[in-house]
Every structure is written in C-alpha cells, then in structure tokens.
Amino acid sequence: MIDRGNKNPIFRNSIVANVLAAIDLGDDLETVNDSLDLDEGANDFQNYPEVVSYIGTGDSTFVEGVLSASPFQNYRLEFFADTIGTDVRVDAMAFVGFLDISTDLAGDAEYLFKYKGVPEGVAITATDDFGNTSEFGLALGVIFGPNLTTGIEGDSLATVNDDKETRVTVANQGTDLVESVSLTIEWTDNLSLKSLVNDETDLPVDCPGNPAVCTVGNMEPTDLLRLRATFTGDTEGSFELAATADGVANAVPVSSNRSLLFGSVLVGVDDFASGTRAQLGLPYPNPFASSTSFTYNVNGQVGAELDVYDILGRRVHRVQLNATLGEHAYRWDGADDFGRPVGAGLYFVRLSDVDGQVSRTVVRAQ
C-alpha cells in the first residue's frame, strides 16, 4: 500500500499471496481512473491501463488495450502473468515484459503486447517519467471461439483543407478461423477520404464509397490488419469516424464491435490578400502548469487578435497583438480576462484578423 507521497516506482516485482490489493494507492482498495489523470494523491493516483482484449493462442498470449492518462506524456507498462487464475489485482506471479508508450493530445495511448505462455490472468501497471506507478489493471480468461475486433486511432482535431491521418484496424482475437471478413469504414460529410493504404505494405487499398467496404478475406487467430486512412477536412464542425467488421466462423455469421472516433474540424489558415499567411507557433510547454508561450507573425495586418476558448466554446481570454512585420512572442499566464486562473483541461487558441485565422490547442494541467 502507498498511502501518501509521490515518485514511488514499482518495477518487476512479483507480488503474491495477498488478501487485499497487491498495489493500493491511498488505502481505498481501488482508485478509479479519471479523465486526463488530474486527481491528486499517492503516486498522483496514476491511472492504470485498461485491457480491451486478452487472448491465448498456441503458446502465446496477446494483450491489447489503452492507457488514458495525462496528454503528451511517456509511460512504461509492465506486464505480469498470474498462473493460478486469481483476481490479479491481488496477485502478480511473474514479470513477463514491458512496453514504452506515449499519450496523445487526448491523453490516450493504445498498446498491443505479446508474450510466451497462456496464463489464466495478466496484471499491468503504468509508471510515468516521475516514477509514479499505478495500481494493477487486469484481464482474466482466454477468449475461445471467433472474436473479431476493430479499432480507430487518430487525433480528435482536424483542420479545413488539411489532411488528417488515422489508423483503422481489424483483428481476429479469438481461437477460431473467421472467413470472408469485410471491414466497413464510415465518416461524416464534413470529411473526404483522400487515400487508404495497408500500413504494413504501403500498398493502396481499393474501398470506394462512403461507407467504404473493404474485402479482407480469411483471418486466422491473432491475424491483424492495419490500414492508414488519410482524410481531408471539408467544413468546420464535429466529425465522426466508425469501423465495423463482419465474417463467418463455423458457418455462423459473426460481427465485431463498432469503433468510433469523435472530433472537430477547425477553420485553419486563410490566404491573405497579399498572398502571405498568418503564422502561430506551437505552444510551449504543452501541457503547461503556470504559463505557456506562442510565437506568431501576422505580416503587418492591423487588428490581429489572439483568443482562447474552453472546450465548451466560451472565450476566456482575448489580447490585441503586435501587428508589425516579423516574428513576435506572447506568453499566456493561464488566466482569463479578469485575472482568474482557468481550470485544468483542453483549450483552443485562435489567432485571427480580417483576412484569416489559425488555431492551436493547449492543455492546462492541474
């Protein structure tokens, strides 16, 4: 148990014969994961990895899932086999390996881990760069029979007239052959599909229309197909991507889960009448705790403004910018127009004048 304090790493430990949780942050048996991992407590109440699927085939085990934690952070995942099939929040018999992952803007990082052996359970921890180790995430039981799954990985933000790259996967994570598999990809009207290629071979995949129905063929156990889809943002607004898969196993139709990716298409940079473009650099640091800075160039346009909006679209801060030619810098101290600190979360920063605008995103950490 870690009752208080931070930077308490737990690496490669075999933890067995426990009555209560093998790792307990805050003496509450289980600390529930929270969005963006902003809660405070023992080891910063580090979020534990979630398990999406756990299958054993032959002499190997495949564990797939996602860690939802702080944005743009590095984490080490450690995997432990439980050979006696107990609740692996209680026991972690043997260390079997690790993965290093990094989270995206939304704080998410997907993982896929393979190791030798087919235990009855697996336990997983996540440790950040500061040495804060989570409680155990768990998976129990091997999935027998067919098990088609899909997934979509990509940013939740896109820009009008710019390309957005996503990855769509379909996998057979069961123990039976699935025949005549097809993958269906759908998207909202404010996106256009520019290209679709096999992520492993870089060869184009012909799936015309919306929805796009891709013929995959037969999938043996543990088979995985990953496609790289490039979309173009057409109009501003919310977007949605969806993926499903269908096939036949043992003469019976089978269907996958329905994977979804939600996000927004933002207005990007418009050309100025002079042929130049407004420029807004990436915020640094991002995420930030007390302040973050931007470089900008509005090419001498008078009336340029920098606005900051929260996730609900409410403007919290506005400033008039230096309009002289050349690159300038602006530091935002994380306060609204009344000098009050804004809360932790995602914010949209927009530079605009009469001829154009450009947007960035920044995360305020707690």
Q: Which domains does the chain have, with CATH numbers?
A: 35-140 (2.60.40.10), 148-266 (2.60.40.680), 279-364 (2.60.40.4070)
Distance from the Cα of residue 235 to its chain's centroid: 24
- Residue 188 has a CB neighbour count (10 Å cut-off) of 18
Distance CA 43, CA 28 (A): 14
Reduced to 3 states, what is the DSSP secondary structure of residue 73? coil
Q: What pLDDT shows up at residue 33?
A: 82
Q: What is the CA radius of gyration of the chain?
A: 24
Contacts of 30 (CB under 8 A, 6+ apart): 21, 24, 89, 135
**Taking Cα atoms as reference points, which of 227, 238, 243 lies closest to residue 165?**
227
Q: What pLDDT shows up at residue 322?
A: 72
The ranges of the chain with pLDDT < 70 are 1-7, 12-22, 24-30, 55-60, 82-93, 117-120, 139-145, 156-158, 266-278, 299-302, 323, 325, 353-356, 366
Locus of tokens 């679209």: 313
Q: What is the pLDDT of residues 134-143, one digit of tens each?
A: 887 776 555 5
- The pair phi, psi for residue 37, each rounded to 5°, is 50, 55
pTM: 0.45
**Taking Cα atoms as reference points, which of 124, 46, 62 lies closest to residue 88?**
124
Distance CA 265, CA 281 (A): 19
Q: Dig out the tokens for 169 from the structure.
A: 């996967």
Query: Could you write out the DSSP letters of every residue in 251-270?
Result: TEEEE---EEEEEEEEP-PP
Q: What pLDDT shows up at residue 261?
A: 80
Contacts of 64 (CB under 8 A, 6+ apart): 51, 52, 53, 54, 110, 111, 112, 113, 149, 171, 173
Are the CB atoms for 212 and 185 separated by under 8 Å? yes
Q: What pLDDT shows up at residue 32?
A: 77
Q: What is the pLDDT of residues 254-276, one digit of tens each?
A: 998 888 887 777 654 333 333 34
